[in-house]
């Protein structure tokens, strides 16, 4: 039995004032990915064939490279936000939760960097 009032028990457990910005970021990246994914699919389907040289030449064009970089960054951020929500909701141990969030952030940064590196390498024509 606790001598604390119901209000005293819940003070400090409320909103961290971050939920709405996280929610908006998730929705805005989803909308952006809708447009970018549509562009990507239509562009790929309009190619003559999907041979390496043809796709590399397509990805090496400046406009396509820029949109591919935007797609890569947006996809990585959207995924990071989604995985963060899943970890926060379903991982209950404080230590494993913090570890999972840190590893998720590092993994998403690594994957985004690899994607950006690949697009830049193709865009600048490096062998």
Cα torsion 88, 90, 96, 100: sign = negative
The two tokens of residue 121 are 């390498």
Residue 12 lies in a domain: no
Residue 57 lies in a domain: yes
Q: What is the pLDDT of residue 74?
A: 98
Between 18 and 76, the more confident residue is 76
Whether the full predicted model's pTM is greater than 0.85, yes or no, is no
Residue 8 lies in a domain: no
What percentage of the chain carries pLDDT values higher than 90? 80
Q: What is the pLDDT of residue 107?
A: 98
Q: Which domain holds residue 56?
A: 19-123
Q: What is the pLDDT of residue 66?
A: 97
Residue 13 lies in a domain: no
Q: What is the mean pLDDT of residues 25-38?
A: 97
> How many domains does the chain contain in total?
1
CB 37 within 8 A of CB 72: no
pLDDT tens across 51-90, in order? 999 999 999 999 999 999 999 999 999 999 999 999 999 9
Q: What is the pLDDT of residue 127?
A: 60
Q: Which of 107, 63, 114 is nearest to 87 (CA)?
A: 107
DSSP assignments along 22-68, one per residue:
HHHHHHHHHHHHHHHHHHHHHHHHTSS---HHHHHHHHHSHHHHHHH
What's 112's domain CATH number? 1.20.1300.10
Q: Return all residues near 93 (Cβ < 8 A) that are at least 6 apart.
A: none
Q: What is the pLDDT of residue 12?
A: 65
């Amino acid at each position: 039995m606790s001598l604390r009032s119901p209000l005293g028990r819940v003070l400090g457990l409320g909103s961290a004032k971050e939920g709405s910005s996280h929610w908006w970021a998730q929705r805005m990246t989803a909308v952006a990915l809708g447009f970018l994914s549509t562009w990507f699919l239509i562009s790929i389907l309009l190619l003559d064939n999907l041979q390496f040289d043809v796709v590399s030449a397509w990805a090496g064009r400046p406009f396509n490279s820029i949109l591919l970089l935007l797609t890569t960054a947006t996809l990585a951020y959207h995924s990071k936000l989604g995985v963060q929500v899943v970890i926060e909701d379903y991982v209950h141990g404080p230590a494993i939760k913090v570890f999972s969030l840190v590893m998720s952030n590092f993994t998403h940064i690594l994957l985004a960097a690899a994607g950006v590196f690949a697009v830049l390498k193709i865009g600048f024509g490096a062998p």
